[in-house]
Chains A and B, each alone.
Chain A
């Protein structure tokens, strides 16, 4: 497999099925910033199946949204954030909680739209999305998650369960 293939955005009319996405998540979950080994993937028929960009009727009307490259970049970001120590932001910031990290890793493996990920000084992670002038941020914490959304002139803020995050993001871009 060539690296070039992984850099390619997967077109909606040819995005992987949810089964394959799940499998892809497992593969990516095994990659760290230091051990992404494309050579290991060679010969894996199922992965090849994913990257052959098979059509999927469920996503046929969506814009280009799924990028394996972005998933891998976010995995790398999370790996880097694991090493943050107390006071990492120059003030009294907390390290990112382990359970927050685990939750974030699971989420990015499942998300069609990849967020920009930022750590906060309160030990949480922030997922950010923007769509023109609209804005959505989701704060992942160990106890509960919360969101803030700006859409046109309207603002929404509240709690959100982990299971609903992907749906919230898709709804934001709908």
Chain B
């Protein structure tokens, strides 16, 4: 699949991650840092020049998320992680956050810091 977006990221570009109900901390009203832990790197949708409501609607078209959180590319770099553009056939915005260019999984400290930097741009209060 040919990349339709620039491989390089603007530091201000937003990265969106869907949050499922069981990863939502109801007591604190925010996702657990477990949201930012994955064995294959953390899948996110890059903004890719869209406005935020389009990004949210695109994610919601795939699944009924409890919430959608966003971090900026600058946030990712600030915790010494990296973001890579990894488009897939069904999602040209798909990208992944890795610990480094050679290691996929983030250590706990980086996951926690990303959670702290994340902004919840959508929360389903019915769930």
Q: Is A89 an interface residue (CB 8 A)?
A: yes
B87 beta carbon closer than 8 Å to chain A: no
Q: Is the CB of A157 within 8 A of B39?
A: no
What is the chain B residue whose CB lies nearest that of A124?
A: B37
Which stretch from B46-54, B106-114, B117-125 is at the chain A interface?
A: B106-114
Decide if A126 touches B32 in the complex (CB within 8 Å). yes
**Interface size of A in residues (CB-CB distance below 8 Å):** 29
Contact, CB under 8 Å: B108 / A92:
no
Shortest Cβ distance from A93 into B: residue: B38
- Asked whether A147 lies within 8 Å of B108 as measured between CB atoms, the reply is yes
- A122 adjacent to B108 (CB under 8 Å): no
If over half of B's interface residues share one DSSP class (helix, strand or loop), that class is named, otherwise mixed; here it is mixed
Interface of A is mostly: strand
Inter-chain contact B40/A148, CB cutoff 8 Å: no
Tell which of B22, B40, B108 touches A137, judged by Cβ atoms closer than 8 Å: B108
Which residue among B20, B34, B43 has the maximum number of chain A CB atoms within 10 Å of its CB? B34
Work out how many contacts link A and B, with CB atoms closer than 8 A. Answer: 74
Q: Is B69 an interface residue (CB 8 A)?
A: no
The answer to the question of B105 belonging to the interface, with a C-beta cut-off of 8 Å to chain A, is yes
- State whether B108 touches A135 (Cβ < 8 A): no
The number of chain B residues touching the other chain, given as a range, is 20 to 34
Given A126-B32, A126-B33, do A119 and B22 touch, yes or no (CB 8 Å)? Answer: yes
Quote the shortest CB–CB distance from A113 to chain B (angstroms). Answer: 15
Residue from A89, A90, A119 within 8 A of B62 (CB atoms): A90
Q: Pick the contact of A146 from B20, B108, B112 — CB < 8 Å?
A: B108
Contact status of A119 and B34, CB under 8 A, knowing A146-B108, A148-B108 = yes
Chain B residues within 8 Å of A, Cβ to Cβ: 18, 20, 22-23, 25, 27-28, 32-35, 37-40, 42-43, 62-63, 65, 105, 107-109, 112
**Could you list which residues of chain A lie within 8 angstroms of chain B, going by C-beta atoms?**
80-81, 88-94, 116, 118-124, 126, 128, 130, 135, 137, 139, 146-148, 150, 155, 157
Query: 14 additional contacts, CB 8 Å, given A80-B22, A118-B32, A122-B39?
Result: A81-B22, A89-B23, A89-B35, A91-B40, A92-B38, A116-B27, A119-B34, A120-B34, A122-B38, A126-B32, A135-B112, A148-B108, A148-B112, A157-B107
Nearest first, the 8 closest Cβ-Cβ pairs linking A and B are: A148-B108, A121-B38, A118-B34, A122-B39, A120-B37, A118-B32, A91-B43, A120-B34
